[in-house]
Amino acid sequence: MKRFAGWTLASPATLLVLLGLVAPVAATIYTTFGTPGGPFAPYLAFFGSGFRRTVLLRTINVSLAVTAIALFVGFITAYVVSRAPGWLKSILIIAAVFPLLTGVVVRSFAWLIILGKNGILNSTLINLGLITEPFQMLYTQGSVIVAMVYLFVPLMVLTLVGVLEAIPDDLIQASASLGANSWATFTQVILPLAVPGLIVGAVLVFTGSFTSYATPQLLGGEQVMMMGTLMYQQAMVTFDWVSASTIAAIMVVITIAIVMAMNAAARRLNPMTV
Amino acid sequence: MPTKIHPALIGFTVLVFFFLVGPLVIVLGSALSDTTYLTFPPQGISLRWFQNIFEIDAFRRTILTSLQVAVISTFVALLIGIPASYAMSRYRIQLPGWLSTLFVLPVLVPELVLGFSLLKNLAFQFNAPIFLSLIIGHTILILPYVIRVISASLASFDFSIEEAAISLGSPPLKTFFTVLLPNVRSGVIAAFILAFITSVNDVSISIFLTGPGISTLPIQLLAHMEQFFDPTVASVSVLLMVLTVAVMAIVERTLGLTFLAK
């Protein structure tokens, strides 16, 4: 009886994930191999279409840009937050958690107000006399990147604060007292110790951007189509479910490959494991 | 002695926090505007756009659906997630290693893919009701959060207390409710809140699982934004922010917010 206690308790959750996630997703991917045109026909069609290749490349480019900016901004911010005195640190963490808990629709909507044709940024620039005609800022790659950076910086900061807090002040002071200037301390002490956190943060941000829907839909529209919006369009507008399933399969493979590669890299690069 | 930080870095961080909080302040300001179009700073202060939310039938319905879905799926996720976390801590040797990988899969598989697959292979194939598919999707989405948070609290639980209770004659279920659950109380609260807010905010799964008469609040917001550019969306956003503040206050009172930064 006791031998099966573990399985008994874990089985409802196990069954739900197997039947509600693994089976349906596997079935979705499976259908892309059973089409009349041959086993790889949908993939050949995907990569054979210039438009879809552009969408895939754009999605990769946007996700890379967002990841790079979020790493840079998040790392500096997290470093300052991690060294802030206790009360200030709590306030700053609250200020980072709050946007994170606010939904993606609300946060993307904020950028619609800011970047719109009659939005805050355009009217400010016109009032200042810097431009005479409103700029087209919405529905550009730039607007998608800005809104996604906004979306993911809090996640990056919160991921890195924990890692950077774990670096003792003594270590930084030891480096200084041994003659390293602050740049050398930064690049040779702090940065290497933060690498595992940077990798986790980068994976979260890249996969999040790569598979996002609401932000590219609202700020990119038809002009800046990404994998998520293309998949939705294929599934729900043109009802081409084989094509949507193919995009789904490509997203799953890329996401899981990146997570596995980064896991391996994190294990190898972590200076704390010998 | 605290480490000295270069003033340029501090200045940069101030700008970043301005960037993080500013847009939300703008949403709040636009919601209060007395105009029929979105504008900031608000022209005239009025709460009429808040009233307008409840005059639009679609918003009333979707707010209700979102709350129902969030409550039910959070409850189900706790109901199956707590025993699963317990089993993985208490009976680790009985269970295969892939089980913990299985429970992080919902985080690895893109939400859009899960949503589409549930539509295609559950709602469409087996004619499952959309509401049921929504509940299944949301429960799977939030299960990893529940299992991670509960497992973290169980990691510091001393199982010998439980054995002591059982050896003194306490039946298993009673032991669970009187010994184990009080010890992981804060974890359960945190899991509940994270799960609830994740469900309420979800777009990528729900976008595929809306049907005639059934939609969730974020999906309705997206639909509304495509047709109108009035302050209604801003005022709904403010309502959601108020919900977030309430949730953060609860977390702060029970656990301290630094809990979320781990």
Residues 163-202 of A with CB under 8 A from B: 169, 172-173, 182
Rounded to the nearest angstrom, the minimum Cα separation between B260 and chain A is 8
Q: Is the ipTM of this complex over 0.85?
A: yes
A223/B contact by beta carbon, under 8 A: no
Report the residue of A93, A213, A226, A232 to disrupt the B interface, i.e. the one with the largest count of B CBs within 10 Å: A213
Asked whether the beta carbons of residue B26 and residue A96 sit closer than 8 angstroms, the reply is no
What distance in Å separates the CA atoms of residue A246 and residue B81, rounded to the nearest whole number? 32
Rounded to the nearest angstrom, the minimum Cα separation between A10 and chain B is 4
From first to last of its 274 residues, chain A has per-residue pLDDT tens of 467 888 889 999 999 999 999 999 999 999 999 888 888 899 999 999 999 999 999 999 999 999 999 999 999 999 999 999 888 998 999 899 899 989 899 999 999 999 988 888 988 888 888 888 888 888 999 999 999 999 999 999 999 998 999 988 888 888 888 988 888 888 888 998 998 899 999 999 999 999 999 999 999 989 999 999 999 999 999 999 999 999 999 999 999 999 988 888 877 776 554 3
Asked whether the beta carbons of residue B248 and residue A101 sit closer than 8 angstroms, the reply is yes
Residue of A nearest to B140 (CA): A17
Asked whether the beta carbons of residue A207 and residue B110 sit closer than 8 angstroms, the reply is yes
Asked whether the beta carbons of residue A21 and residue B114 sit closer than 8 angstroms, the reply is yes
Residue of B nearest to A121 (CA): B40
Q: Residue B249 corresponds to which amino acid?
A: A
Asked whether the beta carbons of residue B262 and residue A173 sit closer than 8 angstroms, the reply is no
Residues 6+ apart with CB under 8 A from A82: A89, A160, A161, A164, A165, A167
What distance in Å separates the CA atoms of residue B98 and residue A19, rounded to the nearest whole number? 16
pLDDT in tens, A136-195: 888 999 999 999 999 999 999 999 998 999 988 888 888 888 988 888 888 888 998 998
What pLDDT was estimated at residue A272?
55
Q: Is A15 exposed, middle or buried (0-12, 13-18, 19+ CB in 10 A)?
A: exposed
The two tokens of residue B247 are 């949730």
**Which DSSP string do the residues of B90-111 spell out, in sequence order?**
HTGGGS-THHHHHHHHHHHS-H
The confidence band for B1, taking pLDDT boundaries of 50, 70 and 90, is very low
Rounded to the nearest angstrom, the minimum Cα separation between B23 and chain A is 5
CA B228 vs CA A196, B9, B37, B232, B234: distances in Å = 45, 41, 9, 9, 12
What pLDDT was estimated at residue A216?
96
Asked whether the beta carbons of residue A232 and residue B112 sit closer than 8 angstroms, the reply is yes
A18/B contact by beta carbon, under 8 A: yes
Burial A232-255 (b: 16+ CB within 10 A, else e): bbbbeeeeebbbbbbbbbbbbebb
| Lowest-pLDDT choice from A5-14, B28-37, B137-146 | B28-37
Rounded to the nearest angstrom, the minimum Cα separation between A156 and chain B is 10
Asked whether the beta carbons of residue A9 and residue B91 sit closer than 8 angstroms, the reply is yes
pTM for the model stands at: 0.92
Residue of B nearest to A231 (CA): B112
The residue assigned the tokens 């969306």 is B233
Cβ contacts below 8 Å, chain A against chain B, sum to: 263
